[in-house]
Structure 1
Amino acid sequence: MQAAAALNHPREMPQDIRWMNAAAAALAAALVVLLVAAGLIKWSRQAYFDIRRISVEGDLQRNNLATVRANVLPHLKGGFFTIDLARARDTFEALPWVRHAVVRRIWPNELRVTLEEHRPAAYWHHADREDELVNTYGEVFDANIGDVEDEPLPTLAAPANPTPDEARVMLDMLHRLQPLVQPLQGDIDTLQLTDRGSWSVELDNDANLELGRGNAEELQARIERFVRTLPVLHRQYPAPLVYADLRYPEGYAVRLRGVSTSQETKGSKPPVAPKKP
């Protein structure tokens, strides 16, 4: 009876043998995975998957497909599976006038790229470096100034050490003030901000406005007051505007071509007018 019971209940496998069998199975599985991975890597590097085509999308005005390919292809490394899309994006964004690039793989050997170009809004000028450009987002970018020499772009004359968002602030100020100076028969040619935070405007009809310090609302109020009262002055002195100093709290000083005068508001002390040129 004891022998029969022993046959019905075989002795369990020792613990160490079970561990050895599990380790062997895991090792075999890992080897299979490695072999498959090596095969896939070798397969993915076949010449068939080399990038052979680049399609470019986007509203391009400064670049064309031939230029993009010629400048980018020598710098692209890898095939369909192995190319680094982030590095490829950086390569496209290094092209002149390119602000942003989105790069996608298209099976089996194509890259499809969507490019966004900078749209110039103004020249960027300050004493520390050569002139650059500001795009419509208020971002400073480097490009060939000669590419826009025929475009009537205003100039943003920045302080010597502008802050990172200075261009955006100045472009916003330009957009706020431009409609206000239309009655002066000119557009803003140069908007300047000094190191001390004082603003001034030069119009394309050679008139200059000293606006002083302040936020956008304060500067707007000064220009609106000046534009509102200038026709009264012109009825007495019908001469082109040369210079206006709007920094006075309740008045302004002007210089007309051939005439010097000052304009005061009711109940205020008249400011001293600039000397006649």
Structure 2
Amino acid sequence: MMVELILDNPWVEQVVIRRVWPDTIVLRLQERRIIALWNNEHLISELGEVTNIPVSDYKEVEKKLGCYLIKIEGPKDFLSKIVARAEITNNLLTTINKKLLHLRLTEQFSWEAKTTGGMTLRFGGDDLQGPMQYRLENFTKSYPNLANKLEEKDTGLPEIHYVDLRYAKGFAIRTKNKKNKSLENDSSQPCLMKYKGLATG
């Protein structure tokens, strides 16, 4: 009964009760770790589970956790796949000083992402030649030289704001001139990565 009452709190992931002889009971609580905002309707835990924490509280959740929640969208049966893909995508983006803000799997099963700095990435579907991870890796390896060439070419300091990665061995880009560089979430990390490597349970 006590365990059920404690687990009614949406912030509690796990409860362990241990009796210490002769008359002591020790409670150990595991707080639920929130990593993402799912379809603007649910907060997702580190275990990839939908929680009962009110989605309206997500800004307070970010403040409490000291990180930001990646927004993920897609069909409900693909939640675990989208969370895993978000982690891979963010890891590759950090190599070019970007972070993932939003990952979406459309109804046509096409992948799209948005990053810090206002960049949009279009991957297409998993049926395209070359895995999504490989195509993004190819872009991140090319990005430093490409960005340098763009800055040398134009005194307006253009930046890449759209990348089409639906090609097996290449990509297409669109640029725009920098005005006020977006610093949204640049100083914090995704909650998805904050808990990586921490023991659970």
TM-score (norm 2): 0.70
1:155, distance to aligned residue in structure 2 (A): 2.2
In structure 2, C-alpha distance between the alignment counterparts of 1:105 and 1:258, rounded to whole Å: 65
| Superposed displacement of residue 104, structure 1 | 4.0
Judged with a 3 Å threshold, the aligned counterparts in structure 2 of structure 1 residues 146 and 209 are, in CA distance, closer, same or farther, namely closer
Q: Tell me the equivalent position of 1:242.
A: 161
Structure 2 match to 1:197: 109
Give the Cα–Cα distance (whole angstroms) in 2 for the partners of residues 204 and 235 of structure 1: 19
User: Which AA in structure 1 matches 2:49?
Assistant: E
Task: Kindly report the root-mean-square deviation, in angstroms, between the aligned alpha carbons of the 2 structures.
Answer: 2.6
Structure 1, unaligned runs of 5 or more: 1-86, 260-277
What letter corresponds to residue 208 of structure 1 in structure 2?
Answer: T
Task: Name the amino acid aligned to 1:201.
Answer: A
What residue is the counterpart of 1:64 in the other structure? none
2:45 to 135, 148, 151: 135
Task: Quote the residue 1:219 is aligned against.
Answer: 132
Are residue 210 (structure 1) and residue 122 (structure 2) matched?
yes
Percent identity, aligned pairs only, is 25
Give 1:177's aligned residue.
89
Q: Specify which structure has the higher proportion of helix.
A: 1
Q: Taking structure 1 as reference, are residues 233 and 112 closer, same or farther at Cα in structure 2, changes over 3 Å only?
A: closer
Aligned pairs, number: 165
Distance 1:244 1:98, change over 3 A: same
State TM-score, norm by structure 1: 0.52
- Matched to 2:174, the amino acid is R
Distance verdict in 2 for CA 1:149–1:228, change over 3 Å = closer
Instruction: Tell me the amino acid that sits aligned with residue 191 of structure 1.
Output: L
Q: Deviations over 1:104-162 (max 9, x none)?
A: 45567654322111112222225xxx3x2222222221224243132332324222x40
Q: Which amino acid aligns with 1:145?
A: Y
Secondary structure class of the residue paired with 1:141 = coil
Give unpaired runs (5+ residues) of structure 2: 152-157, 179-201
Higher relative contact order (CA 8 A, sep 6+): 2
The Cα of 1:205 is off from its aligned counterpart by 1.0
Partner of 1:255: 174
Q: Tell me, what secondary structure is at the counterpart of 2:141?
A: helix
Q: How far is the alpha carbon of 1:203 from its aligned partner?
A: 0.5
Shift of 1:103: 2.8
Indicate if the aligned counterparts of 2:10 and 2:51 stay in contact, CA closer than 8 A: no
Instruction: Output the CA distance in 2 between the equivalents of 1:173 and 1:95.
Output: 29
In structure 2, which of residues 141, 144, 149 is the aligned counterpart of residue 228 of structure 1?
141
SS at match of 1:237: helix
1:68-119 deviations in whole A, cap 9, x for unaligned? Answer: xxxxxxxxxxxxxxxxxxx322211111300111234556765432211111
Q: How far 1:183 moved relative to its partner?
A: 4.0
